[in-house]
Chain A
């Protein structure tokens, strides 16, 4: 098998912060959706005045909710939370395609990493888990906040396994790892089912 040229570290696709902006627009036209904890997460474009923080370099801004935010547990927040999961899954689909290209471009001895049985098995397992998740009935997936959280955790598991297959390139902020980190943080903020806060 001839190795393919190394894949670009950045898979084709819209950067996650901009995907998030689109979800805000779809859920509540003209407003940004606040999490149950009173945070608003959107791109640095949508929230240009947000204070700088550790996620700014990933293109994500964090702000406190304002009276103009679509708040709390209402229909807009529900629509937004429901839409986060397909967006996360889409990111994983894109990353899986990227991983196939990347691993075909990496060689070990006289073969590509994509020809290694260990790697093939792991990729197939990831594809199966993604497909399985896609077939969870909508009514079950969105039964309550706990159902969404379970789905989120499954997607995080898949993403971590996928990034491990990318080796060191799976740690670069300008590749899939950066966007998947944001999807994990956004899930922690908008999808976590607990309502009580830590001691401090």
Chain B
């Protein structure tokens, strides 16, 4: 697979320090194996259990764990630390997705819910959640999206009502939840009272009576195991409420917004990795292209380079405490579109029946379409971009001020 040599980031590296570039190289060395595992997951998404001991599955989630819960001595500690920043996650994720995005999405680990727990939970809740992840491979979920409201965090309808004997009862439906039906623990966003501060995040064990999950058949990215979850009178104890020690404006909706902004550049990174991989695959399997076709491919590569650079910039901004909401949405939306355009062009230029004769191309052609819908569609982000335009591209505000601003939809 000679196209794998192209994995190192070719643009945006001026924003990376030496350690982060080393991280990119470390992840790039995993690409060949990731591609093999990814093909297997497309056939059987639950086959991830066959690969749980492999470094390609274990390393990418290490940086998402708080230091006390990371594996000791298994991976270079400086690289794990480097992968714990938003920029580090972006750089690592791009390389991993170049191999195959299904693997990181299928892997046990904290996902977005871990970020919410880190941001909101008290010490006991952190121990309960991360301790469980450290003890055994554990799938988790982040349940925000609903059938009628999509990912409009402020409009969600899943309810948290007082239970007769104390605590609460959770009722509602969530859909398009990654790993939901196979997870052991996760975070559910629900409404305890009207208004934005009436939204809560609760930690839920999927063995709780009244919880049920079903898999949804997706066109691609099957490793994500997109699911529909139902909650029918699920008992939520006081200790399950995340951030109860905080004010209502610093938990619930704040937690959802806080973590979505931090993870959204990672979706862009997955799309960038796939787009680059598709272009490199074409260059390997079609060593000669007509001049005009070469220009078309270069046009895609120009766009990949641009969105990669901008993704690194918004990620570095978040690490520095500045959240450019419109910029974050823009890179996610543009990267998703580029990945679609890249795979379509590659399928066209590889020639007739390439979607039969090149199974990796057919799989990637399906997979990349998921990035459009993950963490908000292009239309939603376009509205944020327009609002930014109206404000005259005002300077991004510090995190604390912006965490909930503009949180009506994500």
A→B interface (CB under 8 Å): 3, 6, 35-37, 39, 41, 53-55, 57, 62, 105-109, 118-119, 122, 153, 156, 160, 163-165, 167-168, 170-174, 177-178, 181, 184-185, 188-189, 192-200
Beyond contacts A164-B378, A188-B353: 14 other A-B pairs, Cβ-Cβ < 8 A, are A39-B356, A54-B42, A106-B148, A108-B149, A108-B409, A164-B372, A168-B175, A168-B373, A172-B219, A178-B219, A192-B353, A197-B351, A199-B286, A200-B285
For A35, give the chain B residue with the smallest CB separation: B353
Smallest CB-CB separation from A3: which chain B residue?
B148
SS class of chain A's interface: helix, strand, loop or mixed?
mixed
Which of A106, A108, A171, A197 is close to B373, meaning CB atoms less than 8 Å apart?
A: A171
B377 touches A185 (CB 8 A): no
In the complex the two chains form, is B176's CB within 8 Å of A168's CB? yes
**Is B126 part of the binding interface, using a Cβ–Cβ cutoff of 8 Å?**
no
Proximity bits, B144-185, A CB within 8 Å = 1, else 0: 010111101001000000000000000000011000000000
B58 to chain A minimum Cβ distance, whole angstroms, is: 27
Residues in A whose Cβ lies below 8 Å from that of B352 = 35-37, 188-189, 192-195, 197
- A167 x B219 contact (CB < 8 A): no
- A118-B379 in contact given A105-B148, A172-B219 (Cβ < 8 Å): yes
Chain B, range 220-273, C-beta contacts under 8 Å to A = 220, 226
B286 near A6 with CB under 8 A, answer no
Alpha-carbon distance A174/B226, docked complex (angstroms): 13
A199–B288 Cα gap in the complex (Å)? 9
| B85 → chain A closest CB, angstroms | 29
Residues of the B chain whose Cβ atoms lie less than 8 Å from the Cβ of A174: 217
* Nearest CB in chain B to that of A185: its residue: B355
Q: Which of B152, B220, B355, B363 has the most CB of A within 10 A?
A: B355
List chain A residues, Cβ under 8 A from B13. none
B200 at the binding interface (Cβ < 8 Å):
no
Inter-chain contacts of A107 with B (CB < 8 A): 148-149, 155
B208: interface (CB < 8 Å): no
Partner of B369 from A156, A171, A197, A199 at Cβ < 8 Å? A171
CB nearest neighbor in A for B39: A54
Q: State whether A109 touches B155 (Cβ < 8 A).
A: yes
Top-8 shortest CB links A-B: A192-B352, A37-B353, A168-B176, A173-B217, A188-B355, A168-B373, A189-B353, A185-B355
Nearest-CB distance from B207 to chain A (Å)?
A: 27
B322 within 8 A of A: no
**Cβ contacts under 8 Å, A197 to chain B:** 351-352, 357
A-B contact pairs, 23 of them (CB 8 A): A35-B353, A37-B352, A54-B43, A54-B359, A55-B362, A106-B150, A118-B383, A163-B369, A164-B372, A164-B379, A165-B379, A167-B150, A168-B145, A168-B176, A168-B373, A172-B219, A174-B217, A181-B219, A185-B355, A189-B353, A192-B352, A197-B351, A199-B285
